């Protein structure tokens, strides 16, 4: 290890990912040491990695960073790796699942909320890069639409970034479950970006409480129930071609396996599995937002969330177990 320290404010936290030992790194890679918390240069741009050593380091859930001016190169590098895995015939499903799981569990095992949110931002940047680079035969329009909305969210506040966070979490969870069809991934991402656009038609007081449905009064609840259909109507009124999958995901992102969700209280398998994944992604971003207001460790909050899912049968139990395995 090279022990050149670098001022942390010039670095961007990046999610842990699979690196190819055989190819030279196009960026400097920094790592934070566990006990001392010091951030040191781990590999300089142009050097190759010893895979075995790297596996050891990344299995310890350390935090990695790249210099701000190398960030674009990092995004290109990790995107290319994902696309290479996708284009293998058959796609290298297991490796992609592992990489997605590693990114997710890395973000949600952070002790520090600021670090976790930064990782989520990077994940959003990566997913945007990834979607723009996907081979675009036949679904250019969807891709363009995704990028337009993603760019809008990227420049906004945390609240405005919510759709992009949800989109990237949904895509990574879906990849982690082994679904890697490119068209599906773009649609899943779009559903994540658009799931709440219907909220814009509701009073501000309801919008700000939108993710606390259970704590709301009857009137606010009734209004809130309108937003999934509202999102769909809004997209269609703008001439956006909504696929069947996107429709199910947007309409059902607050439904629950138990039948206690809204707006139509669908039960069991009537709730689309990917709508359930979107539901989880929505909760995960909310979990990080709430963690900013309290001292509780993110992983402890995540554990509580999954205990609630189990207690209340929010999700299909088999799906819940698979998502749990991805996040912990
Ligand atoms: Fe919603
Ligand atoms: Fe949401």
Is residue 22 scored above 90 in pLDDT?
A: no
**Which range is least confidently modeled, 29-43, 68-82, 230-244, 285-299?**
285-299
Is residue 3 scored above 50 in pLDDT?
A: no
How many Å lie between the centroid of ligand 1 and the Cα of residue 140?
26
How many Å lie between the centroid of ligand 2 and the Cα of residue 315?
17
**Bridge partners of residue 39, in order along the sequence:** 32
**Which ligand lies nearest to the CA atom of residue 282 in the structure?**
2
Residue 73 burial (10 A CB sphere; 0-12, 13-18, 19+) = middle
Is residue 4 scored above 60 in pLDDT?
A: no
Say how far apart CA 64 and CA 161 lie, in whole Å. Answer: 23
Residue 309 is predicted with a pLDDT of 98
CB 120 within 8 A of CB 285: yes
Please give the share of the chain, as a percent, with pLDDT higher than 70: 91
* Phi-psi group of 216: left, alpha or beta (phi > 0 → left; psi -120 to 50 → alpha; rest → beta): beta
Say how far apart CA 187 and CA 227 lie, in whole Å. Answer: 19
pTM, two decimal places:
0.92
- Integer distance in angstroms from the first to the last C-alpha of the chain? 28
Residue range 244-273: mean pLDDT, rounded: 98
- Listed by start position, the domains of the chain span 1-87, 93-327
Residue 313 is predicted with a pLDDT of 98
Residue 174 is predicted with a pLDDT of 97
How many Å lie between the centroid of ligand 1 and the Cα of residue 194?
9
In the structure, what pLDDT confidence band is assigned to residue 281 with cuts at 50, 70 and 90? very high
Residues near ion ligand 1 (Cβ under 5 Å): 196
Residue 2 is predicted with a pLDDT of 43
CATH class of domain segment(s) 93-327: mainly alpha
Residue 287 is predicted with a pLDDT of 93
How many Å lie between the centroid of ligand 1 and the Cα of residue 71?
32
How many Å lie between the centroid of ligand 1 and the Cα of residue 227?
7
């Amino acid at each position: 290890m090279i022990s050149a320290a670098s001022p942390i404010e010039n670095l961007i936290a990046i999610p842990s990912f699979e690196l190819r030992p055989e190819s030279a790194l196009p960026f400097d890679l920094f790592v934070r040491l566990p006990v001392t918390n010091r951030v040191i240069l781990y590999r300089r741009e142009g050097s190759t990695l010893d895979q075995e050593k790297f596996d050891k380091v990344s299995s310890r859930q350390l935090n990695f960073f790249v210099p701000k001016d190398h960030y674009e190169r990092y995004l290109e590098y990790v995107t290319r790796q994902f696309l290479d895995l996708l284009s293998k015939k058959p796609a290298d499903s297991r490796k992609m699942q592992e990489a997605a799981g590693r990114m997710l569990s890395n973000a949600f095992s952070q002790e520090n909320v600021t670090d976790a949110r930064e990782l989520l931002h990077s994940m959003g940047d990566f997913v945007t890069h990834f979607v723009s680079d996907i081979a675009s035969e036949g679904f250019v329009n969807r891709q363009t639409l995704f990028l337009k909305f993603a760019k809008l969210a990227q420049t906004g506040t945390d609240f405005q970034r919510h759709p992009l966070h949800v989109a990237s979490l949904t895509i990574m969870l879906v990849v982690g479950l082994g679904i890697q069809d490119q068209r599906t991934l773009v649609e899943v991402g779009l559903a994540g970006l658009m799931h709440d656009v219907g909220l814009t038609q509701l009073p501000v007081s309801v919008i700000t409480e939108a993710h606390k449905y259970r704590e709301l009064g009857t009137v606010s609840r009734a209004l809130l129930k309108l937003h999934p259909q509202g999102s769909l109507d809004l997209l269609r009124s703008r001439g956006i071609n909504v696929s069947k999958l996107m429709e199910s995901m947007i309409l059902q992102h607050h439904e629950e396996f138990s039948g206690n969700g809204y707006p139509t209280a669908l039960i069991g398998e009537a709730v689309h599995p990917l709508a359930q994944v979107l539901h989880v992604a929505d909760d995960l971003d909310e979990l990080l937002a709430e963690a900013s207001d309290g001292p509780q460790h993110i992983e402890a909050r995540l554990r509580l969330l999954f205990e609630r899912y189990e207690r209340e049968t929010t999700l299909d139990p088999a799906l819940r177990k698979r998502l749990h395995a991805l996040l912990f």
